[in-house]
Amino acid sequence: MKPGVASIFSPTLAARFDVLVEKYPVKRSALIPMLLYAQDEAGYLSEAVIAEIARRLSLTELEVRNVASYYSMLRFKPAGRYNIQVCTNICCMLKGAYDVLDRFREELHIDPNGTTPDGLFSLEEVECIGACCWGPAIQVNYDFHDEIKPDHVPGIVGGYRGKAQAEGKK
């Protein structure tokens, strides 16, 4: 970015973006990695995040938004620390994805697009996440879980709860 223009990102991430943009012959090729890194740091793609990325890549905000909206792992509003995405597209649906989704609703006491009051979990119903042969499939942040049955749900939730507690104690 131009010297003197303030970044909303941490100095480390801003420096990383400066390098990334120079790495590709066509600047916009850096868009997806930048969106992922930005989301990891900011939690979601806010207006300010989209505006800065657009500026850095000489794109319009609409162009950034159009690309970002195609990817289910990118989000435009805050999510829980662990964002649980349950695929209910055709292959997963035929193998019981809605039973899995319902079990997550019961376990977390939230509906899709909701976040638990402690901010630990959010739940989303999403389109295909590319694991159709192993459905029902879910994604928790960057972790894939496949062939999920409703009975697996308490263990998955408990695993992430334990992980959060362990990380909190470090």
How many residues bind to ligand FES according to rule CB under 6 A? 12
- Does the protein bind ligand FES through residue 126 (CB under 6 A)? no
Contact 112, 101 (CB under 8 A): yes
Q: Which stretch binds ligand FES (CB under 6 A): 35-43, 47-55, 88-96, 100-108?
A: 88-96
How far apart are the C-alpha atoms of 168 and 28, rounded to whole Å? 37
Stretch that binds ligand FES, among 12-20, 67-75, 132-140, 153-161 (CB under 6 A): 132-140
Q: Determine the Cα–Cα distance for residues 13 and 23; give it in Å rounded to an integer.
A: 15
73 binds ligand FES (CB under 6 A): no
Q: Is 87 in the site for ligand FES (CB under 6 A)?
A: yes
3-state secondary structure of 19: helix
Phi, psi of 145 (to 5 degrees): -130, 130
Among residues 42, 74, 132, 164, which is the contact residue for ligand FES, using CB under 6 A? 132
Stretch of residues binding ligand FES (CB under 6 A), selected from 13-21, 56-64, 89-97, 101-109: 89-97
Nearest-angstrom CA–CA distance, 31 and 4: 22
- Least Å distance, CB 141 to ligand FES, is 16
CA-to-CA distance for 158 and 135, rounded, in angstroms?
21
User: Which of 38, 37, 35 is CA-nearest to residue 8?
Assistant: 38
Among positions 68, 110, 135, 148, the unique one binding ligand FES when judged by CB under 6 A: 135
CB 70 within 8 A of CB 127: no
Alpha carbon distance 152, 42 (integer Å): 30
Q: Which of 57, 84, 86, 92 binds ligand FES (CB under 6 A)?
A: 92
Supply the minimum distance, in Å, between the C-beta of residue 146 and ligand FES.
Answer: 8
Regarding 84 and contact with ligand FES (CB under 6 A), the answer is: no
User: Which chain residues interact with ligand FES by CB under 6 A?
Assistant: 87, 89-92, 128-132, 135, 137
